[in-house]
């Protein structure tokens, strides 16, 4: 089998080519997933580029992205396949006056023609290269997870009436999770695990510079430093990378060169989405830092 990537470094370079800045962990795991033919379970706070990773990998591979958005109540008829019930009924009714036997009809209505493929089946039956993204897998119930197991470990789908359908090629598979619940051991065991956290300051600055090319180096530096400070506060929701980029764009539109306190506070609502968080950050930024109470632990 041909491998898609030569080395972790080539993953980094090629991802950079589509404006996705990876780090060693991301590149290493993507590389390994290709080599071992295993799915990647990507976990981390919202807005750190989990979904974007799958999209970017699809882009550099020139593959079609098939996306299965998970939600509570997802079942196999939405994820795997479904028999086109109504069409089957029509077929039976049309046969009524003909002479065909029961067996004829039965083999007929349980054939490919009456099968509606859903994302998972579509991904493995596709001839062209695909990247399968199973988004927010933590939203489905534990029982529903079991649906994914067969496809994740063996890249095949068993349909009782048709038999087992095997993958024509092994697709890259990404599962994302916001970690609202513990995923089952069975699922985790089949995947490589990748935790994407908020990027460190240097990487975030690079991201801002890549995504907002018109920005000055100085402003990007200031933005990422402020964001880092905000993330150290105990907040309901820390600013995500996408919010950092939004903020950078806003400041650029406002024609700001260097961020002053007032400007920072005025535009905080782009970074933070809860009123209590905004109040908190405002207080923190306008207060004299020398008066920070000693012994109050900071979260890092």
Partner 1 sequence: MTPPDAPVVESPMLELLTGFIVELRAAGLPVSLTENLDAMQAITHIPLEDRDAFKYALAATLVKNNSHWRAFETVFEVYFSLRGKQYSLGGDVLDLPEADDEDQAQANPDAAGAGAGGGGGEAMSPEQMAEMLFQALKQGDNAMMRALARQAVTRFAGMEPGRPVGGTYYLYRTLRNLDLDSVLQRLMDESNDDAPEPMSPLEERLERDEFENRIDKMKKEIEAEIRRRLVADRGVEAMAKTLRKPLPEDVDFMHASREELLGLRKAMYPLTRKLAVRLARKRRHGRKGPLDFRATVRKSLSYGGVPADPQFRYPRPAKPEIFVIADISGSVAAFARFTLQLVYAISGQFSRVRSFVFIDGIDEVTRFFEGVEDISEAIHRVNTEADVVWVDGHSDYGHAFEVFWEKYGREIGPKTTVIILGDARNNYHASQSWVISEINKKSRHLYWLNPEPRAYWDTGDSIVGEYGAHCDGIYECRNLRQLEKFVDILE
Query: Of the candidates 99, 102, 180, 255, which one interacts with partner 1 according to CB under 8 A?
Result: 180
Spell out, one character per residue from 40 to 79, where the chain touches partner 1: x when CB under 8 A holds, - when not.
-x-xx---------------------------xx------
Binding to partner 1 by residue 31, rule CB under 8 A? yes
Binding to partner 1 by residue 4, rule CB under 8 A? no
Q: Which of 194, 284, 206 is nearest to 8 (CA)?
A: 194
Virtual CA dihedral for 13, 14, 20, 26, nearest 10 degrees? Answer: -70
Query: Of the candidates 36, 99, 112, 255, which one interacts with partner 1 according to CB under 8 A?
Result: 36
Tokens 């539109």 correspond to: 253
Binding to partner 1 by residue 188, rule CB under 8 A? yes
CA distances from 7 to 13, 149, 194, 198 (A): 10, 28, 18, 24
Binding residues with partner 1: total (CB under 8 A):
59
Query: Of the candidates 102, 185, 213, 214, which one interacts with partner 1 according to CB under 8 A?
Result: 185
User: DSSP labels for 67-123?
Assistant: EEE--TT--HHHHTEEE-HHHHHHHHHHHTTS---HHHHHHHHTSGGGEEE-HHHHH
Binding to partner 1 by residue 286, rule CB under 8 A? yes
Strand pairing of 115-117 and 81-83?
antiparallel
Q: Where are the alpha helices (DSSP H) in the chain?
A: 8-17, 24-36, 50-61, 76-79, 85-95, 102-109, 119-125, 142-154, 185-189, 201-211, 217-232, 241-253, 261-266, 268-271, 275-286
Spell out, one character per residue from 195 to 234, where the chain touches partner 1: x when CB under 8 A holds, - when not.
x--------------------------x--xx-xx--x--
Q: Which of 40, 45, 43 is nearest to 28 (CA)?
A: 40
Q: Of 111-119, 122-130, 158-166, 173-181, which segment contacts partner 1 by CB under 8 A?
A: 173-181
Query: Of the candidates 17, 71, 77, 85, which one interacts with partner 1 according to CB under 8 A?
Result: 85
Binding to partner 1 by residue 289, rule CB under 8 A? yes
Nearer CB in complex with partner 1: 165/194: 194
Query: Of the candidates 61, 191, 207, 245, which one interacts with partner 1 according to CB under 8 A?
Result: 191
Q: In what order do the strands lie in the sheet with 172-177?
A: 64-69, 130-135, 172-177, 40-43, 192-195
Contacts (CB under 8 A) with partner 1, residues 107-136: none
Terminal C-alpha separation, the chain: 44
List of residues contacting partner 1 (CB under 8 A): 7-8, 24-25, 28-29, 31-32, 35-36, 38, 41, 43-44, 72-73, 85-86, 89, 93, 141, 179-182, 185, 188-189, 191-195, 222, 225-226, 228-229, 232, 236, 259-261, 264, 274-276, 280, 284-290, 297-300
């Amino acid at each position: 089998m041909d491998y898609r990537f030569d080395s972790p470094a080539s993953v980094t370079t090629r991802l950079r080519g589509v404006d996705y800045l990876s780090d060693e962990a991301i590149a290493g795991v993507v590389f390994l997933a290709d080599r071992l033919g295993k799915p990647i379970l990507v976990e981390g706070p919202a807005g750190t580029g989990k979904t974007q990773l799958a999209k970017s990998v699809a882009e550099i591979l020139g593959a079609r992205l098939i996306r299965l958005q998970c939600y509570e109540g997802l079942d196999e008829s939405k994820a795997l396949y479904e028999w086109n019930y109504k069409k089957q009924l029509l077929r039976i009714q049309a046969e009524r006056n003909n002479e065909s036997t029961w067996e004829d009809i039965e083999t007929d209505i349980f054939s490919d023609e009456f099968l509606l493929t859903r994302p998972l089946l579509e991904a493995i039956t596709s001839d062209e290269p695909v990247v399968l993204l199973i988004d927010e897998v933590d939203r489905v119930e534990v029982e529903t997870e079991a649906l994914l197991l067969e496809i994740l470990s063996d890249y095949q789908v068993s349909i009782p009436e048709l038999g087992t359908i095997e993958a024509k090629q092994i697709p890259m598979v990404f599962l994302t999770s916001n970690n609202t619940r513990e995923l089952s051991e069975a699922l985790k065991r089949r995947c490589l695990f990748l935790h994407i956290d908020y990027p460190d300051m240097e990487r975030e600055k690079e991201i801002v510079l890549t995504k907002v090319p018109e920005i000055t180096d100085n402003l990007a530096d200031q933005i990422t430093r402020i964001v880092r400070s905000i993330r150290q506060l105990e907040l309901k929701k820390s600013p995500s990378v996408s919010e950092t980029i939004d903020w950078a764009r806003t400041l650029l539109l406002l024609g700001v060169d260097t961020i002053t306190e007032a400007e920072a506070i005025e535009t905080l609502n782009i970074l933070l989405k809860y009123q209590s968080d905004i109040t908190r950050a405002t207080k923190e930024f306008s207060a004299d830092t020398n008066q920070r109470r000693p012994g109050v632990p900071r979260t890092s």
